[in-house]
Structures are given as C-alpha cells and as structure tokens.
A and B are shown apart, each in its own frame.
Chain A
Amino acid sequence: MQIDYAAVAPELVLTGALCIVLVVDLVLPDNRKGLIMPVSLLGVAGTLLALLALAGDPTRTTLGGMFVVDSFAVTLKILFCVAALLTLAMSYDYLRKEGIHQGEFYFLLLCSLLGMLTIASSRDLLPIFVSLELVSVPAFVLAGLQKIDVKSNEAALKFFLFSILSTAVMLFGMSLIYGITGTTNLAEIAVRLAATPVLRSIAVLSVFFVVVGFGFKISAFPFQWWVPDTYEGSPVPVAAFLSVASKTAGFVGLLQIMFIAFHGLADVWRPFIAAVAILTMTFGNLVALTQRHIVRLLAYSSIGQAGYILLPLAVVNVNGGSVNHEAFAASIAYLLIYAFMEMGAFSVAVAYGREGGYFIDDYAGLGYRAPGLAVVMTVFLFSLAGIPPLAGWAAKLFIFRAVIDGHEYWLAVAMAVNTVIALFYYAKVVRRMFFEPAGDGPLGVKVPLLLQATIAVSTVMVLLVGILPDLAAHLARMSTLV
C-alpha cells in the first residue's frame, strides 16, 4: 500500500514544522522565545506552498481510501492556513505583552491547524472524529494558557467540559450509525441508507446525536452556551482562532456529513436544521444587542453569523440536483468571506484592547483619536452587517440566493429581519466610535507592525471581494462536494 506523498505533503510539512517548533522551544532561553513565531510562520507558509502546488490537480485518494484531496479539501485547507497565519501575526505582540508561554502556544496552534487540515480531507467518520479531537484538545489548552487569569481558567474548563460532553454524544450517535449501516465511510453510508430503508426514528436520533458534536463546534443554538464565556475568558487571538478556524472546521465536518452521508435523509432533518439555524441567528443577534464587552459582542455576532451559514443546509433536497450544489457553494463562499471579516474585527479588538480596553464604552470617540483604526473597524463591522460594497453583502446575497432557490421564502424573510436587527448593534459600536466626543482614551493608538499587516490583509480582502464577489463565488462553486 504505497502512499501518494504529493497528496500528503502539506500535512507532512506541517508535522515537521510542529516538531521543529517543539525542539526549538526546548533549546531557546526564555528571553529569546520570540524567535519561535517566525519558525512556525515559515512552517505554515511551507504548508501553504505545498497546498498551492496541489491546487489544480484532480482528486487524489490515499492512505487506504481515507485521505481524499479534492478541490473542496484544498480550498478549505488554504483557508485554514491563511487563518492560522493571521492568528500567528495577530498573537505575536499580544503574547509578549501578556507573558504567555510562547513556545507551547505556537506548537498547540500548529497541532490544531493540523487537525483542521486532516478533517478537510477525511471522508470517514473515524478520521473525522479523531481530527475533530485533534482540533479541540490543543484548543482547550490554548484557551487556558493565561494561567494567572482566573477567567482564562474558567474559559478553558467550560470549553473542555462542553466539548468532551458533545463528543461523547457524537460518538454514541456514530455507534448507532455504524450499527444501522455497518460502515463508517460517508459515501458508503449514503449507499447503505438508500439501499436498506431504515426506521425514521433511529435515523432522526442518530443523525441528531452526530450533529450535536458539530453543533457544538459551530455554536449552533442549543449548543452555543459556551461561546461567549470562552471567547471572553481566553486570550483574544485564541478567541479569534476559535471563532474562525475551529468554527470552519466544525462546518467542514458538518457539511461533509450532511451533504454526503445523510442527504438521503434530507426530508428528516431539513426542518430541524432550519429551526436550529433560525434560533441560532435570532438568539445571537438579540443578545448581542445588550452586550457591552467587545469580545462578547463579537462572540454573539459570530453565533448569529453561524446561523446564516447554517441556513443553506435547510434547503437540501433528497434527490440532489442544482439546489444542493448552490446551497453548498453558498455556505462555502460565506465561510471564505466570514473568515476575513471576523479576523479583521478581532485584530482591531486586539490592537485597541491593550491600550484602550475591551469595553465598547472605551471605544468612545475613537474616530477622532485613531481615525485609521476606527475607519477599518467600521469597514469590518458594516461588512459583518452586510452593507455593500463590502464583502459581507456578497456573502449574504449568496445565502439569500440559495435559500430562495430552495423556495424557502419564510426562511429568507427571517434572515432579512435578522440582518436589520444585527445592523443595530454593529452601528452601536460605530456610533460609539464616531458620534461621541473623544473620551479620555489614549490619543493615537500604536499598532505593532504584524498586527497592522493582519488588518491590512483583511481590509483589502473585504473590499476586494465586496467589489468583485466572483472571487469567492467562483472558488466556492468549484469546490463543492455535491
């Protein structure tokens, strides 16, 4: 059983980088710990290069048929790497100031990244489960890395408990699936389910239990309780990483399972996903109205956004066809755009957090004190709200398009109302920044170089995709599994 090394190259490079980082951390004395970041940066860049080399190729399967590298996998792996790069750049200065163990931070980050890469390529329940764990375990530690800060400990505990709880439920679900179909390969499951008609009730139960695992990851409604506390407690770059990368990993897992394995049972779980999506977005947006802490606000807003991404799943129909294709592409496109918006917003929160503070009141009069930062934050917030000509509107347009294509008009109306509610709290921050007199906050915020780079990249991407949405749309349509 020879292995197609080209396909596995990115993962190999990353694992190599992983180990080097561990060893370098061992060797370097404390005051030189800063050097580790460039090494990990190089590692991720290497993985990215390997991925880009794979970009155009036809689908390859290796490692016993488990590891599939198709356009879907490559696109999302690239997204993960970019998110990791941004997080690394964002956290470099943050870690030095907060006195967090840098060596371990980068090592764990890369481990989590590796987990994400593998989940994108795995088409079987077992590797999906294990990759999910590889994404989560380092994340628990990252969340709790600010050991002296009690909140960080609490964040880690809550994150940990909730995560292993939902994993246990997912495993139970997977065992039932295995029981019914006798296989864990997604495509195989679909075939078996189609072949032997199975009782509705067991189908509902098992699908639901499996979805719980991913529901937790993407902060869907009944499973999102942990999000605000964990984001607020953990270091902000970790919160950013969780809200973008690990949420996307959750979606990747969910999309694969729903679209490949269970699309036969679509009639069963479609209304349920629709209900979850609507509840998620409404809960996220409504509670966000009342938040005063910027990270908590972004947490709730990310719950709202998760609701939007979930929506296309509610229009999947049993016999496939263009509707599924459009829905899948819409979700992917939204994920691509969402990553940059969210990353940007968090990086501004990090940039201003240290000097000004993390409460929205501290943002008062930012427009006068640091106009550049304020304008950029407005760009990200209004993009999240979906105002053209920023990327957010294109993302929302694709979702609207997919949902209306699926003839679920009332879902579209619900989302429309949600966008209006959402605008209110995004505008609340903008209002605080521009319409209020310059408070006593610091004049002229000094933003470290790397952080400026992250913000610049995110802004350029948000504006570019806003004007030419086809960049995201084309990439998304090309990389659908269905």
Chain B
Amino acid sequence: MPVAWVLILSSFLFSVGIYGVLARRNAVLVLMSIELMLNAANINFVVFNLLLHSISYIGQVFALFIITIAAAELGVGLAIVILIFRNRSTVSIDEVSLMKW
C-alpha cells in the first residue's frame, strides 16, 4: 500500500486541526483541534516506523511519548481554561484580549 495516502490523510488532519484552532471561539474546542494535530503527527510517526521497519522502531516510541505529553498538557490547559472561566465566566477567546498594543 503506498505510504503517500496515509501521509496525505495526516496532513489533512493537520490542516483541519489548524482550521479548528483559528476558527473556533470556544477554548475547549481549540484544545480538541490541537489534539487532532498531535494525532496527525502520531499517525505519521507510526506509518514511518512501519515504512522503515527494517532500521528502527523509534516512531512508535516517539508516538508513545507524544500521547503522554499531550495528556499532561491537556490537563494544564483545562486547568487554565477553568481558571479563566471562574474569573471571567467566559471561555471564548475573543473576549480574552485585555492586553493589546
């Protein structure tokens, strides 16, 4: 099976993730889109690992670490979102722009 298809799928996921980050107002949704982008990277790693099966298995190790790090970040991210919600009772990113110029 040509590897290119998989890669195209992951770049599509990556781009959709970018769209999600830029377009969605709700912070939690932005977090979800970022998960998408991370998954795109994961798919890449795994498929490359298979492609280069003969040489190394770093891809999978890398994917594992990405998953754990993503989880850790998400935890902190949500904590920040909740903190903002508690102070400003809003989660949409447009209103979170006190500091400018």
Residue pair A154, B99 in contact (C-beta under 8 Å)? yes
Would you give the shortest CB distance from B82 to chain A, in whole angstroms? 10
Q: Could you mark each residue 33-49 of chain B with 1 if its beta carbon is under 8 Å from any beta carbon of chain A, else 0?
A: 01001101100110010
Q: Could you mark each residue 15-46 of chain B with 1 if its beta carbon is under 8 Å from any beta carbon of chain A, else 0?
A: 00100010000010010001001101100110
Q: Report which of A140, A160, A175, A183 forms a contact with B45, defined as CB distance below 8 A.
A: A175
CA distance A151 to B51 in the complex (A): 48
Residue pair B58, A126 in contact (C-beta under 8 Å)? yes
CA distance A137 to B83 in the complex (A): 16
Task: From known contacts A153-B83, A172-B44, A175-B45, infer whether A184 and B37 are also in contact, taking CB-CB under 8 Å.
Answer: no
Centre residue among B55, B58, B79 by max chain A CB count within 10 A: B58
Q: Report which of B37, B48, B87, B99 forms a contact with A155, defined as CB distance below 8 A.
A: B99
Per the CB 8 Å criterion, the residue count for chain A at the interface is 40
Interface of chain B residues 78 through 99 with chain A (CB within 8 A) = 79-81, 83-84, 87-88, 93, 96-99
CA distance A115 to B11 in the complex (A): 30
Residue pair A178, B45 in contact (C-beta under 8 Å)? yes
Closest residue of chain B to A184 (Cβ to Cβ) is B58
**B101 contact set on A, CB distance < 8 A:** 290
A449 at the interface (CB under 8 A from B): no
CA distance A150 to B86 in the complex (A): 10
Closest residue of chain A to B63 (Cβ to Cβ) is A175
| Interface-facing stretch out of A225-233, A337-345, A399-407, A408-416 | A225-233
**A168 contact set on B, CB distance < 8 A:** 17, 34, 37-38, 41
A164 at the interface (CB under 8 A from B): yes
Task: From known contacts A164-B34, A172-B14, infer whether A150 and B65 are also in contact, taking CB-CB under 8 Å.
Answer: no
**B84 contact set on A, CB distance < 8 A:** 153-154, 157
Would you give the shortest CB distance from A143 to chain B, in whole angstroms? 9
**A130 contact set on B, CB distance < 8 A:** 65, 69
Interface of chain A residues 113 through 153 with chain B (CB within 8 A) = 126, 129-130, 133, 137, 140-141, 144, 147-148, 150-151, 153
Task: From known contacts A154-B99, A172-B14, A175-B41, infer whether A160 and B80 are also in contact, taking CB-CB under 8 Å.
Answer: yes
Residue pair B80, A172 in contact (C-beta under 8 Å)? no
CA distance A155 to B98 in the complex (A): 10
**A178 contact set on B, CB distance < 8 A:** 44-45, 48, 58-59, 62
- Classify the secondary structure of B's interface with A: helix
CA distance A156 to B100 in the complex (A): 15
**A147 contact set on B, CB distance < 8 A:** 83, 87
Task: From known contacts A126-B65, A150-B98, A171-B41, infer whether A164 and B58 are also in contact, taking CB-CB under 8 Å.
Answer: no
Closest residue of chain B to A168 (Cβ to Cβ) is B37
Residue pair B58, A150 in contact (C-beta under 8 Å)? no
Residue pair A140, B76 in contact (C-beta under 8 Å)? yes
- Classify the secondary structure of A's interface with B: helix
A182 at the interface (CB under 8 A from B): yes
Task: From known contacts A137-B72, A172-B14, A184-B62, infer whether A164 and B96 are also in contact, taking CB-CB under 8 Å.
Answer: no
Residue pair B30, A182 in contact (C-beta under 8 Å)? no
**A169 contact set on B, CB distance < 8 A:** 37
Centre residue among A155, A171, A175 by max chain B CB count within 10 A: A175
Would you give the shortest CB distance from B37 to chain A, in whole angstroms? 4
Q: Report which of A144, A151, A161, A171 forms a contact with B66, defined as CB distance below 8 A.
A: A171
Residue pair B73, A179 in contact (C-beta under 8 Å)? no
Task: From known contacts A137-B73, A178-B48, A229-B99, infer whether A126 and B41 are also in contact, taking CB-CB under 8 Å.
Answer: no
**B51 contact set on A, CB distance < 8 A:** 179
Residue pair A171, B38 in contact (C-beta under 8 Å)? yes
**B40 contact set on A, CB distance < 8 A:** 172
Residue pair B80, A156 in contact (C-beta under 8 Å)? yes
CA distance A129 to B27 in the complex (A): 24
Would you give the shortest CB distance from A133 to chain B, in whole angstroms? 5
A63 at the interface (CB under 8 A from B): no
Would you give the shortest CB distance from A234 to chain B, in whole angstroms? 11
Q: Report which of B41, B96, B99 forms a contact with A232, defined as CB distance below 8 A.
A: B99
**B21 contact set on A, CB distance < 8 A:** 161, 165
28 A-B pairs in the complex with CB atoms less than 8 angstroms apart: A133-B72, A137-B72, A137-B73, A137-B76, A144-B80, A147-B83, A151-B99, A153-B87, A154-B96, A157-B81, A158-B96, A161-B27, A164-B34, A164-B73, A168-B17, A169-B37, A171-B38, A171-B66, A175-B10, A175-B41, A175-B62, A178-B44, A178-B48, A182-B48, A182-B52, A184-B62, A229-B99, A290-B101
Interface residues in chain A, defined as those with a beta carbon under 8 Å from any beta carbon in chain B: 126, 129-130, 133, 137, 140-141, 144, 147-148, 150-151, 153-158, 160-161, 164-165, 167-169, 171-172, 174-176, 178-179, 182-184, 228-229, 232-233, 290
Sample of 18 more A-B contacts, CB < 8 Å, known A160-B80, A175-B44, A178-B45: A130-B69, A137-B73, A137-B76, A147-B87, A150-B98, A153-B80, A153-B84, A157-B84, A161-B27, A167-B73, A171-B41, A175-B10, A175-B62, A178-B48, A178-B62, A182-B52, A182-B55, A184-B58
